[in-house]
Amino acid sequence: MATTKSKGGQTLLSEMFSASLYKRNQGRRVRQWTGVAVAAIFVLGAMSLYNSVLADMVSGETMAEGAQSGIAFGLALAGVWFAYRLVNYPRFADFLISVQAEMDKVTWVSWKELMRSTIVVIVCMSFIGILLYLYDYLWAFLFRLVDVLKV
């Protein structure tokens, strides 16, 4: 993927070492939340690494406590930078901008309509479940009556 050219003519790898913003005011919400989600994945992964793998190395006296913290912090920092650069990579940013444009076109139902629809679905599913149970019971009774089913 690092050799794939973007619309701006830069590769993803070269984009990682840039600090420029791409289309700064377009698709802002979806880009911010995507960046936060990707950064959170890296930070939580670094915390998990710190608490499990690196902690076992410290208890085995193969790594100093400061080195353990430094590795975890460095990985978290690199992940946050990657998330920041990813949402400013032209190909990915254009995709996120178009996602937000499509989501802005969606008409969301009101809370009242949502509750009514949910109740209809629950009632219908309950009715179908009871009906299937009764059919199953009826067929089992008939099969036992003619000695096809011996339970």
pLDDT digits (tens, 9 = 90+) for 92-139: 889 999 998 998 899 989 999 999 999 999 999 999 999 999 999 999
pLDDT at res. 68: 80
Q: What whole-number distance in Å separates Cα of residue 115 and Cα of residue 126? A: 16
Global confidence as pTM: 0.60
Domain shared by 25 and 65, yes or no: yes
Domain count, the chain: 2
DSSP letters for 19-88: ---SSTTSSHHHHHHHHHHHHHHHHHHHHHHHHTHHHHHHHTTSS-HHHHHHHHHHHHHHHHHHHHHHTT
Domain shared by 81 and 143, yes or no: no
Range of the domain at 74: 12-105
Domain shared by 96 and 130, yes or no: no
